[in-house]
Structure 1
Amino acid sequence: MKTISVHIDGVGLIGPGFANWPQAVQALTSTAEYAHAPAVIPPPAALPAAERRRTSATVKLALAVGAEAVQAAGRDAAQLAAVFAASGGDGENCHAICDMLAGEDRFISPTRFHNSVHNAPAGYWSIAAHAMAASHVLCAHDGSFAAGLLESACQAAVDGHDALLIASDTGYPHPLNAFRPIRDAFGTALVLAPIETARTLARIDIALTDAPATMLTRAPLEAIRTDNPAARALPLLEALAMRRRAAVVLDYLDELRVRIDVTPTDTRKETAQP
């Protein structure tokens, strides 16, 4: 695989102790002390009332981080091709459906069914953002963020258009959580551009590697990284927050990982000066 180079123009983030990307920057750069707290997911204000009442935490999380990244990048959400990455479907709805099937009354609510499928966030995003561009939905277990990044970066670099990556995962209730433990929700979104713009935060150069995944030096943040598949993005997000050159490796497949060289915009400008 050749190196893929794209630019990051916007970031969205919600997770344990992170209400948004600016708050996460403070914690990731040690500007403010990190304080662990359950993730708070806001209601999807962009959805019509009828759809808003039906949404699950999984959908709300994806829509919230996607909207934050798009706003930060100054883009029109309706025009962005989107990639949705998650390691599984909606845990709460999957649990409820299994519970119903195990009982005497096996009537499955249509709302529960359509919210349980893996592409539900993409459908709700198209309604909320009036998005007409193509969307892709993928799953690669703990490597789902890296898989989504590769897909969206290829779209931006090869097709020459902006792309939105939304990666998110929420947990499962008991007893499913014993087999797939995810303690808290985590979601992040990136707006990727083929060329540098006035909003560009950094250029990233992506390649495959067999090097070990980058671990975070602070134990509370490393615990989040390993607890939630979408949080495997944290080394990249930390590098973006620090705004300095860095090389990070993210989990992908068992024998293959993704290396990302991060070059912040202001670093390139400083390097170019005589």
Structure 2
Amino acid sequence: MSVYIAGWGILGPGLADTRVARAILAGEKAYRDDGVRVPRAEGLSANEARRCPMSARYALDVGWQAVRAAGWDPKKAATVLSSASGDLEIADKNCRALAQPPIALSPTVFHNSVHNAAGGYWGIATGSLAPTTSLSAYDDSFAAGLLEALTTVAPDQPCLLIAYDLPPPAALAAVRKITAPFAVALALTADRPPGACARLSWRWGRCNPVTDACMAESALEGLRVGNPAARSLPLLRALSARQPEVFWWGDADEGALHVALTFEERGSTDRHHAP
């Protein structure tokens, strides 16, 4: 079973967008953690942008990068949004409000606390009525989101995968360690894009214990292990370098998502469809 990557987006420390990240991950430019730019809340009105939490802003930012790179109308793409911990800043605010009488929950903060809030803001920003799924699988959330997106893709039904996680506030940092903010988006389609493109061939099955693919650069490896969404970095590295590679993402039950990344050059007529 195969799908194509029509575009991607990224936002993290020293990885301001796809253009910057591609040069770094391909080894053409040294990585430097010079902070994270403020994500854009594109497509939202001024009032909606004020209410939009930072986690949803990260999702919107990378999502727009990916659909623009793919040349898609975002209204027509299904979405899968994957986050290991959701918005822990908002969870902390709600817990504090509940613990301090008189109880006074902010309607806006409570509204933003649901796990599919980012998906809702994407629908508002793009006007999309396409199917959307929001999920979590703790540190395996990127792989779980990728599997969901791969099984969502169908002929004439592209799918946008967005994975994101942000560090928790101080009160939760001892029990949930996420070291830096990171978000990634992959635009996946069953229909071969024009020109040179990347293809993901995949299957799910039982396997022996899986060894994580790691990043050679220590700072990028720290980012990979410090944020569940950044488990995508080895795939993005291979994508940036146009290097065929095989990846395994295992789960606690000895199952694994097996993904082979290959590349097709311009003029190829090969065509694959997901079921």
TM-score for both structures, normalised by structure 1: 0.92
- Does the 8 Å contact 2:13/2:182 carry over to 1? yes
1:194 aligns with 2:194: no
Q: Which residue of 2 aligns with 1:56?
A: 53
- Choose from 135, 138, 158 the match for 1:138: 135
- Does the 8 Å contact 1:232/1:251 carry over to 2? no
Q: Which residue of 2 aligns with 1:260?
A: 259
Q: Which residue of 1 aligns with 2:245?
A: 246
Q: Which residue of 2 aligns with 1:44?
A: 41
- Does the 8 Å contact 2:42/2:60 carry over to 1? no
Q: State the distance in 2 between where 1:22 and 1:12 align.
A: 9
Q: Structure 1 pair 122/183, CA: closer, same or farther in 2 (3 Å)?
A: same
- Does the 8 Å contact 1:38/1:184 carry over to 2? no
Q: Which amino acid aligns with 1:195?
A: D
Extract unaligned runs of 5+ from structure 2. 271-275
Q: Which amino acid aligns with 1:206?
A: W
Q: Which amino acid aligns with 1:34?
A: Y
Q: Which residue of 2 aligns with 1:183?
A: 179
Secondary structure of 2:139's match? helix
TM-score for both structures, normalised by structure 2: 0.91
Q: Which amino acid aligns with 2:219?
A: P
State the shift of 1:33 in Å.
0.5
Q: Which residue of 2 aligns with 1:163?
A: 159
Q: Which amino acid aligns with 2:29?
A: A
Give CA-to-partner distance per residue, 1:226-267, whole Å, 9 cap, x none. Answer: 100001111111110010211122354463332211112229
Q: State the distance in 2 between where 1:195 and 1:221 align.
A: 32
- Choose from 101, 106, 125 the match for 1:104: 101
- Choose from 112, 115, 120 the match for 1:115: 112
Q: State the distance in 1 between where 2:151 and 2:196 align.
A: 18
Give CA-to-partner distance per residue, 1:7-42, whole Å, 9 cap, x none. Answer: 000100001111111111111111110001332232
Give CA-to-partner distance per residue, 1:192-247, whole Å, 9 cap, x none. Answer: 01121116630011223443221112211111111000011111111100102111
How many residues matched?
266
Q: Pick the structure with more helix per residue.
A: 1
Q: Which amino acid aligns with 1:101?
A: L
1:215 aligns with 2:214: yes
Secondary structure of 1:116's match? coil
- Does the 8 Å contact 2:196/2:266 carry over to 1? no
Q: Which residue of 1 aligns with 2:124?
A: 127
Give CA-to-partner distance per residue, 1:79-98, whole Å, 9 cap, x none. Answer: 11111111122111111111
Equivalent positions of 1:78-89 (< 5 A) are 78-89=75-86
Q: Structure 1 pair 251/33, CA: closer, same or farther in 2 (3 Å)?
A: farther
RMSD: 1.9
Extract unaligned runs of 5+ from structure 1. none
- Does the 8 Å contact 1:168/1:187 carry over to 2? yes
Q: Which residue of 1 aligns with 2:234?
A: 235
Q: Which amino acid aligns with 1:65?
A: V
